[in-house]
Amino acid sequence: MLSKAPGGPETLSLDELPDPTPGKGQVVVAVKACAINYPDVLIIEDKYQFKPQRPFAPGGEIAGVVESVGEGVEGWAVGDRVIAVPGHGGLVGKIALGAGQLYRLPEGRSFEDGAALLLTYATTIHALLDRGHLREGQTLLVLGAAGGVGLAAIELGKAFGATVVAAVSSEEKAEAARAAGADRTIVYPRAPFDKDQSKALAEAFKAAVGPKGADVIYDPVGGDYAEPALRAIAWEGRYLVVGFPAGIPRLPLNLTLLKSCDVCGVFWGAFAARDPHANQAHVERLFRLWGEGRIAPRVTDVFALADAGQAIARLGGRESIGKLVVRIAE
């Protein structure tokens, strides 16, 4: 499924390409499933921080089976079940990847669940622990809490001993947040907000998180939701900037002085590249939590490759709950 020119999901087209061959240190993976994430919405419109050379396939995380192994590769063999986060290029039948990009898909786990794990949960564990310094007994406010990263934040927040307040845009999404373990939920209205609406939302956030405020705020939404959430932060709280599907906000910095709080950017891909050992430790912890049943990707819909554009469009419309996955092959 290729992007040949900047545009929305309707500009994507199915094409036949030559099979890749593994270079030195590479393996070729026969892709079985590819999860859809918000960067896929942006990357095909040239609005993401990376702009791959066209034509390219979107699709940032995959699960599949090793089909061939290149020179110098150790530890991987044909037939191994794997997951990986290539960043883009996943909506294909086969992909060549560096051997160091692969993680072993545990036995008994489906390709769809495997494809839906790493990007959201690895982003979130890095956000909560490395950037947010979340500790047991603290309060975590999660915006966009019914999306892929939002549900991951709820589950990991509970796993780390936090009280989790989930903010969502509908009662259906609130139900999904509660099912993931949220202690409290708040349903907020749709932006844009005028001054009075923004103030009302800030008061609603404050009421939901309690009088001390939220120690950590996890914000994968941005836009007009950001300032009201920041007003509900605790003294020396940490505000985690994860994404901007509602737009890039402008925060009044006097609030950071008054609360002596931190506004922290979260860029998991760069973190993983700069500190692969720390990232590997996080991933190993995620696998343990997955094995213990304390986290589990929620795949709510599965699409055929020919319908991958529909999956991207649905995610872009901000109506989906959990993860959307494209099944490439059985």
Q: What is the H or E stretch that residue 180 is in?
A: none
Spatial CB neighbours of 149, under 8 Å, sequence gap ≥ 6: 120, 123, 124, 218, 220, 242, 243
**29 with 97: CB under 8 angstroms?**
yes
The token duo for 24 is 């030195």
Residue 320 above 90 pLDDT? Answer: no
Mean local confidence (pLDDT), 279-292: 96
Instruction: Quote the mean pLDDT of the chain.
Output: 95
Give the 3-state secondary structure of residue 289: helix
Cα-based distances in Å from 73 to 10, 27, 89, 103: 39, 8, 21, 14
Q: What is the model's pLDDT at position 179?
A: 96
Mean local confidence (pLDDT), 47-65: 93
| pTM of the predicted model as reported, rounded to 2 decimal places | 0.93
Cα-based distances in Å from 29 to 41, 72, 76, 81, 83: 24, 16, 11, 9, 9
Report d(CA 262, CA 63) in Å as an integer.
36
pLDDT tens sequence across 214-273: 999 999 999 999 999 999 999 999 999 999 988 999 999 999 999 999 999 999 999 999
Could you give all domains of the chain from N- to C-terminal order, each with its CATH number?
Answer: 9-117+298-327 (3.90.180.10), 119-269 (3.40.50.720)
Residue 213 above 90 pLDDT? Answer: yes
pLDDT tens sequence across 165-187: 999 999 999 999 999 999 999 99
Only one residue has tokens 């990009």, namely: 101
- Between 50 and 114, the more confident residue is 114
